[in-house]
Amino acid sequence: MLSSSVSPIRFGRILLTGAAGHLGREMRPRLKACCDRLRLSDREPMAPAADGEEAVVADLADRAAVLALLEGVDAVVHLGGVSTEQSWERIAAANIHGAVNLYEAARRHGVRRIVFASSNHVTGFYRQDQVISPRDPARPDGFYGLSKAFGEDLAQLYWDRFGLETVSVRIGSAFAAPKDRRMLATWMSFDDTERLFMAALTAPVVGHSIVYGLSDNATAWWDNTPARHLGYRPQDSSEVFRAEVEARQPVLDREDPAVIHQGGAFVRTGPFFEEA
């Protein structure tokens, strides 16, 4: 964990959604270090609240519950939602209706800023031989990526119309280590994830900014120049894992759409619908 000296700015109350999830559990102690009170929320049970924490079980699709959840909150780190290609119904409930509920509640309670966990799957249909920036048009690789593109457009609407700021972080692959050759390009360490979230929370002026979430990897498809104003400087690199990852996966099928496109296997997963 990084020291709290990363950011000189402390918050009153931060809301962390998706707190029971993989990234939520990693970010929980790191965010606690920069606020007086950390409100944690998920629809699944979370580890019990410690001193300075409040845990609220809530479904993002429940408008009244989300309205109550945002009361007294200064800033939100919004990680909650469906995080893979699943049925349209589940994605719509959490990532479309849930996102609208969260933004509307944030507006009504005067929240200043949201850090939105968007995804590289907003642009998953670009090829791996293209270097793109947050200014390039969306090319979602499934319903999941499409729902994150909606979240970004929602953030733009709430900035343009209501002055609610958002940093949409198109996270690559935030795991302890890259799991395959693709993730050598998309990987973001947990320490760099913390650095990026802190930059997103504390940069003085962000409006609605979009940034890709990746470490300082040797191979990369994303140029974050349009987001330089955030001041994010990744310190880690996937290169230390390269030999081991390449040894595990020495051959790639270059006819495979998952090898050709940035979204990897997401480009050939789904679409899924609930049984009628």
Ligand X SMILES: O=C(O)[C@H]1O[C@@H](O)[C@H](O)[C@@H](O)[C@@H]1O
Ligand Y SMILES: NC(=O)c1ccc[n+]([C@@H]2O[C@H](COP(=O)([O-])OP(=O)(O)OC[C@H]3O[C@@H](n4cnc5c(N)ncnc54)[C@H](O)[C@@H]3O)[C@@H](O)[C@H]2O)c1
Q: What is the set of active-site residues?
A: 144
- Could you tell me the CA-to-CA distances from 120 to 78, 99, 125, 149, 183 in Å, in that order? 16, 18, 10, 10, 12
Relative to beta strand 53-57, strand 165-171 is unpaired
Number of residues that bind ligand Y (CB under 6 A): 26
Minimum CB separation of residue 99 from ligand X in Å reads 15
Judged by beta carbon, residue 36 or residue 44, the one nearer ligand Y is: 44
Annotate each residue in 53-92 with x if it binds ligand X (CB under 6 A) or - if it does not, as one string.
Answer: ------------------------------xx--------
22 and 190 Cβ atoms separated by less than 8 Å: no
214 and 169 Cβ atoms separated by less than 8 Å: no
29 and 1 Cβ atoms separated by less than 8 Å: yes
- Binding piece for ligand X, criterion CB under 6 A, among 116-124, 210-218, 243-251, 253-261: 116-124
22 counts as binding ligand Y under rule CB under 6 A? yes
Minimum CB separation of residue 2 from ligand X in Å reads 23
The three-state secondary structure class of 209 is strand
Minimum CB separation of residue 269 from ligand Y in Å reads 14
Binding residues among 62-121 for ligand Y as defined by CB under 6 A: 79-83, 93-94, 98, 117, 119
141 and 270 Cβ atoms separated by less than 8 Å: no
Out of 121, 181, 208, 261, the residue judged to bind ligand X by CB under 6 A: 121
Task: Look up residue 24 and give its two tokens.
Answer: 């939520």
**Sign of the C-alpha dihedral, residues 209, 214, 218, 220?**
negative
59 counts as binding ligand Y under rule CB under 6 A? yes
Binding site for ligand X (CB under 6 A): 83-84, 119-121, 173, 186
